[in-house]
Amino acid sequence: MADDEPNELKTTVLNELHHARGAKMVGFAGYEMPVQYKLGVLKEHLQTRTQAGLFDVSHMGQVILRGPNLAEALERLVPVDVAGLAEGRQRYAFFTNDAGGIEDDLMIANRGDHLFVVVNAACKEADVARMRAALEPGGITVKLLENRALVALQGPAAEDVLAEHCPAVRDMRFMDVETLPIAGAECWVSRSGYTGEDGFEISVPNVAAVDLVKSLLTDARVEPIGLGARDSLRLEAGLCLYGQDLDPGTSPVEAGLTWAIQKVRRADGARAGGYPGADRVQREMADGPARKRVGLRPEGRAPMRAGVVLYDAEEGGAEVGAVTSGGFGPSVEGPVAMGYVSAGCAAEGTALWGELRGKRVPVRVAKLPFVPAGFKR
């Protein structure tokens, strides 16, 4: 996901507001997005953990699927239980390929007469093409929405803040979805996010987005938060970033995402398999994968970033894996990372060494998440 030239970048409807709030803008997945505002990454991270942060995630793809036998059809692309997803509920999923690798991760919401799907910005064209190819022959329409923005309000104060605009949000549980009027607009609200905190993701019509965001930001408990803190928040929460921790060569079993494959889609389930790469996923679920995603706590203060190679000895030894995401965890107050290691090195507490600037620095396999989740279940 390389940075693009500024003149080629797309913008979200909140772009002017980001500039007005003093954001530092960068290219991300083809969009000019705020990496931080005046507070800076560290304070923005802590603000979200202690109060509330507001994120522009309008670059992500919002897609509506509508048509006959919809859940069954989508289950041919994802290994999760779509048919059993109740109306008003949302669930995490991933598209797999024939080799059992992950093409993207996504959210699927059952909104009654249709499914609402949110995919990563960098993958959205490919995801839409994949869904069109698989679903349109069955009479299903796949519509990528260009007329809605998406914002996330995250943090322990998120409920109180949003309830001032719409008291009904207090009754929502983690992963509930509802259509609610907020700041005079029809918003599609889910109680979810990607920070490890309680919070809401709000799909809002473009025409109402700026007013909604401005009105949320008038609350003293809310600050705008950039991609920098979004990354450290999701890393501490043990959540994967597609393109870094997940990619087309990595299976959901290696990635530790089998919790998202419900019983009914597993080897002995009523609707087992039937998605791309099911043979590999089932084999790895039965026999264990060759490598696993793990949390990593480097000793000392030096961050271990993506690409750092991991060894099983301080000198010599074997290369056993690599860091895929890493940095400083402001809430942990130290370096945190995740990466893939061979299965024999994946037990919590295993001592490994990461090579930093030619020196091997001790690092321990650690439990994920690094901070407890604040979800309202």
Partner 1 sequence: MKFTEEHEWLLVEGDLVVVGITNHAAEQLGDIVFVELPEEGREVTKDEEVVVIESVKAASDILAPLDGEIVEVNEPIVEEPGKINEDPEGDAWFFKMKVEDLSALDDMMDEKAYKDFIS
CA–CA distance, 227 with 24 (Å, rounded to integer): 10
**Number of residues in contact with partner 1 under rule CB under 8 A:** 17
Query: Counting contacts by CB under 8 A, is residue 306 touching partner 1?
Result: no
Query: Counting contacts by CB under 8 A, is residue 232 touching partner 1?
Result: yes
Query: Counting contacts by CB under 8 A, is residue 228 touching partner 1?
Result: yes
CA–CA distance, 47 with 158 (Å, rounded to integer): 11
Closest CA to 337 of 362, 313, 316: 362
Q: How far is the CB of 76 from partner 1 (least distance, A)?
A: 41
**Which pair of tokens denotes residue 19?**
């500039």
Asked if residue 369 has a cis previous peptide bond (ω within 30° of 0), the answer is: yes
Residue with tokens 């074997």: 318
Residue with tokens 């505002």: 37
Query: Counting contacts by CB under 8 A, is residue 48 touching partner 1?
Result: no
Query: Counting contacts by CB under 8 A, is residue 36 touching partner 1?
Result: yes
Query: Counting contacts by CB under 8 A, is residue 40 touching partner 1?
Result: yes
Q: What is the dihedral of CA 194, 236, 258, 188, to 10 degrees?
A: -10
**Which pair of tokens denotes residue 101?**
């690798």
Which member of 41, 77, 150, 345 binds partner 1 (CB under 8 A)? 41
Query: Counting contacts by CB under 8 A, is residue 285 touching partner 1?
Result: no
Q: Give 151 or 233: the residue with its C-beta nearer to partner 1.
A: 233
Query: Counting contacts by CB under 8 A, is residue 205 touching partner 1?
Result: no
Which residues have a Cβ under 8 Å from the Cβ of 31 and sit 6 or more positions away? 9, 10, 11, 12, 59, 121
Q: Which of residues 16-35 bind partner 1 (CB under 8 A)?
A: 35
Q: Give 329 or 339: the residue with its C-beta nearer to partner 1.
A: 329
Classify residue 300 as left (phi > 0), alpha (psi -120 to 50) or beta: left
345 neighbors 293 (Cβ within 8 angstroms): no
The interface mask with partner 1, positions 319-338, x = CB under 8 A, is --------xx-x----x---
Q: Which part of the chain contacts partner 1 (CB under 8 A), choosing from 65-73, 121-129, 212-220, 301-309? A: 301-309
Which member of 5, 268, 301, 316 binds partner 1 (CB under 8 A)? 301
Q: Residue numbers of the site for partner 1 (CB under 8 A)?
A: 35-36, 40-43, 228, 232, 301-303, 305, 327-328, 330, 335, 357
